[in-house]
Amino acid sequence: MDGFCLLHLLLILLMRSGDVETNPGPNTAVSTVSDMEFLRLAKDILPSYYEAVGISLGFSYSELQSILILKWNNYPNAFLHIFMRWNVMQQPPHSNKRQLLADKLREIDLGGLSDRLLNEPLIPNIAGGPSRLTESQTKPPSAESQTKPLSTELVEQCANDFKFKYRSTVCKIRADPLNPASIVQFKDMYTNLFLQEEHGTEKRMLDYNDILDLKVNGEFPKRIMVQGEAGVGKTTFCAKIAWDWIEGRYFSHFVWVLIVPLREFKKHTIGEIAKSYLAKNNPATVSQMTDYIQSNPDKVFIAFDGLDEVSGLIMKTKSCESEPSVTSSGACGSSSETVDIGLVDILCSDQLASCPVLVTTRPWRAVEIRSDGDLMKLYTFIHVEGFNRENLSVYIHKYFPKNDDKANQLIQFFSDNDVISENMAHYPIYVAMLCLMWKERDEQKLKEMKSLKTFSQIFKAMIAFLKEHYAQKEVKKVGSRSLIAYLKKIDELLGPIAKQALNGLLENTLTFGEDDFQTCQEIESKDTACRVGILSQEDRINADMDTHERNSHVQLRVFFPHKLFQEYMAGVHLASLYESDCNEFNRLIEQVVLPRKEEFRYLLYLTVSHNKSIATHVMDSMLQGLRMNFGYIDEKLPFMPQGPHMNRWAAQIQLGFIVDVAFESQDADVATLVKDRVLSEEIRPSIHVHEDMTAHTVAGYAFIGPHVVKLEIERDCGPTTSLDLAEMICFLPSLKIVYLKGAFHHCFFATLARKGKESTVSSSSTIVMYMDV
């Protein structure tokens, strides 16, 4: 053994014995607390310590209650807010914030967390992400751990296997989103999506063809976060990347492109995932795959699809004490050839920092990345907005390639209804559903479709269509007693599926195995749901399975066609609990759903739409504790005021959500409840209808008919929104002042001409600026 190795070994032994200072000299990182550590503390402290922690850090009881209201009683978010505020508060000169915080935690009997803060500090690494110096990082590589690199031929063979995998699975589009057999070629149905890039506090249009021209300080960004609501096309966006790589267009300069659906790979590492895509006769090992990615990060592009579909913290500490849901590397007791790379490590840029990585998610889950200042700097943020008007027209004509009249009628239907066009026409999943219904429905049913306004109504119509479509295969006579009885039997069989849907949604489980349906009734329910189209099940045995695997019991995945369908079925079961187990219903609403309202927005929509009693009960829960000490309602606020204005600000940002939920209920008593409790005659607030307020929310205000004094409109309005606003101007008895700026449909002026005499608006106080469309 040479002198260098002896010296290295001696240093390691001394470090283990504690006789060598591993980080001599002043270290600012150890005297401060990182955002990641604050987040970890926020998740680990029990809610019962909320007041003790806040008061010990210098907050008043009233401030703490205001913060909790602001965070919708979500204690981890409230804790994080307190820590962030404390971190920027004035501290004694040259103070050690880590020691100060540890002392505060110990004073309130949180000694375990105090010790962890002092003994296990997270040290920022060069890439800007958090990391911890572990024993494995001090060990020199051993001969046994060396992995033979992949040959050039094997690298190419792996790439070809990936491309075959994507051609046969990822790059397939269903013409009918609910029928697994309705597969068409990718190029026949794919329609470009409308993209926007965040630029400071603004957004600017981004053409898909320009994605690879994105630059951060002159270089292509290494981490890209792609945000979009459910059904907006995030998965199709990833499929487009795979398709362009296969076809040798964009992304062709990458040797490997890895598309990773996170709902299927929650507890795998990147090497394991890459290996699973290979053909059976490909000899490449997990270690070799990992080694190639580590050694050639600029030649590999990774796309993680569906971060919101996995549970667990992105920035969770990597340790053997608990196993995160999105796997991190270095699992205890691992006997693999080399340590593989966990998905958390990649997302946090602890590993593969120079490898370009794209992540798709619903907006609520991106908050975790955004809440960490260092980590956020590593990400470029893109928004998928779905279809614009031009894309919508292209898609519909592709759906009806031989029937332009049918296509044009559906396009007109979207144009005539703002709530549909602004809130649903952007979403490929909704457009595909409406295309299917438009294709199959008779004239009377199409007329009924034109009256649809809410998300819940569309889903109810869609599910009813699916059940009728299936039932009529068995019972031909429309409207017969036997058909009605058969539909009732389907509803009964779907009960266990609805329960499974809710349980899975609460646990962020979107894919199920056959063993999740064990009883005869559950198996019959699953089979019925698959035949109806509410569930899908894999119907293939992989070609690369060996004979033993084929002859043994193989778990085939069972899944919903889209998360929105799971949310619909979950809403069915949650609503049923109101009658069968009211205590459990209350617990779920107040302790689970409302504290995570953004995550469960559609579940709330679909639950309150079932009946008046449920809608009233949920709305009453939402309104409890809401303090409306203000006279101006405007969701577009540039800052969050502190102190006595906190309650006012918190109430403002919650009100739009409350109005949306009330609108989904379509119940007059719920509307009255909101009007009397929130938009009351005593408060007489003003409403600002700006460009960021959706037609759904505008329709909600019109539905509620609030007591308002001033209505300020600064946005272009289509037919439905123009009509809603015109009727508000004419019929709100307390309205005195109206400001108008924007383009309005001709129905706006026609309504004012017919009914304007009934308005209480004072014309001398009204400023009108408009342009007809």
Tell me, rounded to whole angstroms, the distance of Cα 74 from its chain centroid.
17
* CA-closest candidate to residue 98, choices 111, 80, 72, 116: 116
| Helices within 45-198 (DSSP H only) | 50-56, 61-70, 75-88, 97-107, 111-119, 135-138, 152-165, 186-189
pLDDT at 168: 85
Mean pLDDT, to the nearest integer, of 352-367? 88
Label residue 336 by pLDDT band (50, 70, 90): very low
Q: Residue holding tokens 């108008």? A: 740
* CA-closest candidate to residue 223, choices 362, 376, 34: 376
pLDDT at 646: 42
Rounded to whole angstroms, how far apart are CA atoms 676 and 80?
A: 34
Angle at alpha carbon of residue 202, lines to 198 and 208, rounded to 5°: 40
Rounded to whole angstroms, how far apart are CA atoms 376 and 381?
A: 9
* CA-closest candidate to residue 78, choices 112, 100, 46: 46
Positions of CATH 1.10.533.10 in the chain = 3-121
CB 204 within 8 A of CB 196: yes
How many Cα atoms occupy the beta-carbon half-sphere of 248 within 13 Å? 1
Higher pLDDT, 305 or 473: 305
Label residue 773 by pLDDT band (50, 70, 90): very low
Rounded to whole angstroms, how far apart are CA atoms 539 and 552?
A: 16
CB 505 within 8 A of CB 602: no
| pLDDT tens string 61-85 | 878 877 877 666 678 888 888 998 8
Of the given ranges (70-74, 358-362, 594-598), which has the lowest mean pLDDT? 70-74
- Tokens linked to 182: 């309705």
pLDDT at 681: 55
- Given a cut of 50, whether residue 701 has pLDDT beyond it is yes
| Helices within 108-185 (DSSP H only) | 111-119, 135-138, 152-165
- Given a cut of 90, whether residue 763 has pLDDT beyond it is no
The winner for highest mean pLDDT among 470-474, 573-577, 700-704 is: 573-577
- Euclidean distance between the first and the last CA atom of the chain, given in angstroms as a whole number: 84
Q: Which amino acid is at 280?
A: K
| pLDDT tens string 195-225 | 888 887 788 888 888 888 888 888 888 999 9
- Given a cut of 50, whether residue 628 has pLDDT beyond it is no
pLDDT at 179: 62
| pLDDT tens string 580-589 | 999 999 999 9
pTM reported for the whole predicted model: 0.57
- Tokens linked to 439: 């294709």
Rounded to whole angstroms, how far apart are CA atoms 499 and 574?
A: 8
pLDDT at 648: 46
Residue 248 dihedral angles phi and psi, to the nearest 5° = 75, 25
The winner for highest mean pLDDT among 101-110, 364-373, 570-579 is: 570-579
Which three-class secondary structure string do you get for 338-392? CCCCEHHHHHCCCCCCCCCEEEEECHHHHHHHHCCHHHHHHEEEEEECCCCHHHH
Of the given ranges (90-94, 147-151, 250-254), which has the lowest mean pLDDT? 90-94
Higher pLDDT, 27 or 290: 290
| pLDDT tens string 600-609 | 999 999 999 9
* CA-closest candidate to residue 66, choices 648, 621, 647: 647
- Given a cut of 50, whether residue 553 has pLDDT beyond it is no
pLDDT at 180: 59
Higher pLDDT, 630 or 412: 412
Sign of CA dihedral 711, 715, 719, 721: negative
- Given a cut of 60, whether residue 493 has pLDDT beyond it is yes
| pLDDT tens string 264-298 | 776 678 999 999 999 989 999 999 999 999 999 99
Classified by CATH at the fold level, domain 607-772 comes out as 3.80.10
Mean pLDDT, to the nearest integer, of 151-179? 85
Of the given ranges (285-289, 611-615, 757-761), which has the lowest mean pLDDT? 757-761
What mean pLDDT value characterizes the chain?
77
Of the given ranges (161-165, 186-190, 409-413), which has the lowest mean pLDDT? 186-190
Higher pLDDT, 334 or 710: 710
Tell me, rounded to whole angstroms, the distance of Cα 178 from its chain centroid.
21
Please list the residues that pair with 511 across neighbouring strands. Answer: 559
pLDDT at 645: 43
Rounded to whole angstroms, how far apart are CA atoms 31 and 74?
A: 29
CB 211 within 8 A of CB 250: yes
- Given a cut of 60, whether residue 545 has pLDDT beyond it is no
pLDDT at 212: 85
- Given a cut of 90, whether residue 387 has pLDDT beyond it is no
Classified by CATH at the fold level, domain 152-384 comes out as Rossmann fold (3.40.50)
Of the given ranges (482-491, 656-665, 704-713), which has the lowest mean pLDDT? 704-713
Beta strand extents in 208-364 (DSSP E only): 223-227, 256-261, 300-305, 357-361
- Tokens linked to 607: 């639950």
Rounded to whole angstroms, how far apart are CA atoms 180 and 537?
A: 9
pLDDT at 316: 47
pLDDT at 218: 84
Higher pLDDT, 362 or 140: 362
Q: Tell me the angle at which helices 404-416 and 428-440 cross, rounded to the nearest 10 degrees.
A: 120
Label residue 175 by pLDDT band (50, 70, 90): low
Mean pLDDT, to the nearest integer, of 637-659? 54
3-state secondary structure of 198: strand
DSSP classification of residue 209: G
Please list the residues that pair with 690 across neighbouring strands. Answer: 714
Rounded to whole angstroms, how far apart are CA atoms 568 and 603?
A: 7
| pLDDT tens string 112-124 | 788 888 877 654 4
If phi > 0 it is left, if psi is from -120 to 50 it is alpha, else beta; for residue 625 that is left
What are the CA-CA distances from residue 394 to residues 38, 320, 344, 408 (Å)? 48, 52, 39, 11
pLDDT at 238: 92
Rounded to whole angstroms, how far apart are CA atoms 227 and 276?
A: 27
Positions of CATH 3.40.50.300 in the chain = 152-384
CB 607 within 8 A of CB 618: yes
Rounded to whole angstroms, how far apart are CA atoms 626 and 628?
A: 6
* CA-closest candidate to residue 131, choices 65, 263, 219, 36: 36
- Given a cut of 50, whether residue 541 has pLDDT beyond it is no
pLDDT at 30: 66
3-state secondary structure of 203: strand
Positions of CATH 3.80.10 in the chain = 607-772
pLDDT at 571: 95
Mean pLDDT, to the nearest integer, of 340-344? 82
pLDDT at 319: 36
pLDDT at 176: 66
Classified by CATH at the fold level, domain 3-121 comes out as Death Domain, Fas (1.10.533)
pLDDT at 115: 81
Mean pLDDT, to the nearest integer, of 502-523? 82
Of the given ranges (384-388, 442-446, 549-553, 622-626), which has the lowest mean pLDDT? 549-553
- Given a cut of 90, whether residue 151 has pLDDT beyond it is yes
**How buried is residue 249: exposed, middle or buried, by Cβ count under 10 Å (0-12/13-18/19+)?**
exposed
All residues at 6 or more sequence positions from 710 whose CB lies less than 8 Å from its CB, including other chains: 686, 687, 735, 736, 737, 738, 739
CB 113 within 8 A of CB 72: no
Sign of CA dihedral 339, 340, 346, 351: positive
